[in-house]
Amino acid sequence: MSAPILLQPGSTLGVMGGGQLGRMFVHAAQQLGYFTAVLDPDADSPAGRVSHHHVPTAYLDAGGLARLAEVAAAVTTEFENVPAQALTALAASRPVAPAAEAVAIAQDRAREKAHFGRCGVPCAPHAVIETPQQLQAVPDALLPGILKTARLGYDGKGQARVGTRAELERAWDGLQRVPCVLEKLLPLASECSVVVARGRDGAMVHLPVQRNLHRDGILAVTEVVDGVLPEPLARRAVQATRSVAEGLDYVGVLCVEFFLLQDGSLVVNEMAPRPHNSGHWSIDGADVSQFELQVRTLAGLPLVQPRQHSPAIMLNLLGDLWFVQGREATPPWDQVLALPGTHLHLYGKPQARPGRKMGHLTLTGATSAAVRATALQACAILGIAPF
């Protein structure tokens, strides 16, 4: 177990990565009275623009890492594709959470699935494909399936649906024959996720189970309302997530995503060693957000169980919304903000592009029905497909 530390407000907390997750971590840290430092190669990154310090270097730049370690008393990461060796280098002189090994496992689907197995958490039937021999040895029972690159795939990138061996071979060729994992295509009823936070002392808390809807591989809608998942399944999802975190001796915020199958069973999909898009609702719908939990785990502050105070629905705002009939236009935020219980979060990205996450909208209210009705109104105003 890691040695206990306590960094009081007034200390400087560092984060690797300057995207929207880093930006929301910076806001949460500053609200609690911390100074912040961001390392990101983009001189105009969303988190770097609002942080006290910005180190604009590559993630493996020795000088940049030294500068971050000089100004920050502890360091976290905002996304799993920060090189694990950068976190190892920082850990030589500063507390780092999550640890490099946990991030390295999350960066590799094959290692990730092996970890789930060690924790007793079921995942989809799968096969690792790294050689032509392994490709030929794939069991017929895994088709149809989804071929995913073992590394660097997110938001639907690096994936291909395959129905036959010929399609599998073509897809692997199309992915440049990098190491991949083939997962059996399962009959899904829905998807859900659980966010937990674990401290250096092993204390652990969690957000409520979140039901997720993906479109084109990108999260579109998260619902955290009454009856979002049958209670026995919700308990199993929480317990499985806790097991995954404990098996890593994890410190920090961790999200685990699950598939709910049509037969009522639950299988794990993947994990993210950081706050997650599906947990953004907690900023407005709970008394402790996932980003405050990230600050608390990094600084060694006590973890308290978050309490959801309002039913909540989150809508992802992609860059597509900025284009109407091929012309760029600002979405009608005034109309959206006229709806009760709307909370708009824009990430400060200078240019909208289709598929790019530009922000999110959280709807809260007194009842689940009222929140859903308002969310559907917001969808109609913005041109988002209803759910």
Q: Supply the DSSP string of 195-257, one letter for each residue.
A: EEEE-TTS-EEEPPPEEEEEETTEEEEEEE-TTSS-HHHHHHHHHHHHHHHHHTT--EEEEEE
The model's confidence at residue 156, banded by pLDDT at 50, 70 and 90, is low
Higher pLDDT, 1 or 20: 20
Dist. CA 39–CA 110, nearest whole Å: 28
pLDDT digits (tens, 9 = 90+) for 271-327: 999 999 999 999 999 999 999 999 999 999 999 999 999 999 999 999 999 998 889
66-70 own/partner pairs: CB under 8 Å, 24+ apart: 67/39, 68/14, 68/16, 68/37, 68/39, 69/14, 69/93, 69/94
Q: Is 255 buried (19+), middle (13-18) or exposed (0-12) by CB count in 10 A? A: buried
Instruction: Provide the terminal-to-terminal Cα distance of the chain, rounded to the nearest Å.
Output: 44
Dist. CA 83–CA 70, nearest whole Å: 20
Higher pLDDT, 155 or 117: 117
Return the minimum-mean-pLDDT range out of 93-97, 187-191, 324-328, 337-341. 324-328
Structural domains in the chain plus CATH codes: 12-96 (3.40.50.20), 125-184 (3.30.1490.20), 188-382 (3.30.470.20)
The model's confidence at residue 99, banded by pLDDT at 50, 70 and 90, is very high
pLDDT digits (tens, 9 = 90+) for 28-70: 999 999 999 999 999 999 999 999 999 999 999 999 999 999 9
Q: Report which secondary-structure segment, H or E, holds 371.
A: helix 368-382
| 82 closest CA partner among 53, 110, 102 | 102
What contacts 141, CB < 8 A, 6 or more positions away? 125, 184
| 130 closest CA partner among 72, 78, 182, 206 | 182
pLDDT recorded at residue 340: 97
Sign of CA pseudo-dihedral 84, 280, 320, 349 = negative
pLDDT digits (tens, 9 = 90+) for 362-371: 999 999 999 9
Return the minimum-mean-pLDDT range out of 147-156, 274-283, 342-351. 147-156
| Cα–Cα distances in angstroms (integers) from residue 381 to residues 109, 202, 226, 335, in the given order | 38, 45, 25, 7
The model's confidence at residue 154, banded by pLDDT at 50, 70 and 90, is low
157-166 own/partner pairs: CB under 8 Å, 24+ apart: 157/217, 159/217, 161/185, 165/138
Dist. CA 220–CA 131, nearest whole Å: 35
Calculate mean pLDDT across residues 242-270.
Answer: 97
Q: Report which secondary-structure segment, H or E, holds 380.
A: helix 368-382
Return the minimum-mean-pLDDT range out of 59-68, 151-160, 182-191, 199-208. 151-160
The model's confidence at residue 1, banded by pLDDT at 50, 70 and 90, is very low
> Regarding beta strands 204-206 and 188-198, do their DSSP bridges make them parallel or antiparallel, or are they unpaired?
antiparallel
Query: Is-cis flag, bond preceding 208, omega within 30?
Result: no
Task: Return the percentage of the chain with pLDDT > 90, whole number.
Answer: 94
**Tokens coding 265:** 């069973």
Dist. CA 223–CA 212, nearest whole Å: 7
In the block, residue with structure tokens 């999260």: 219
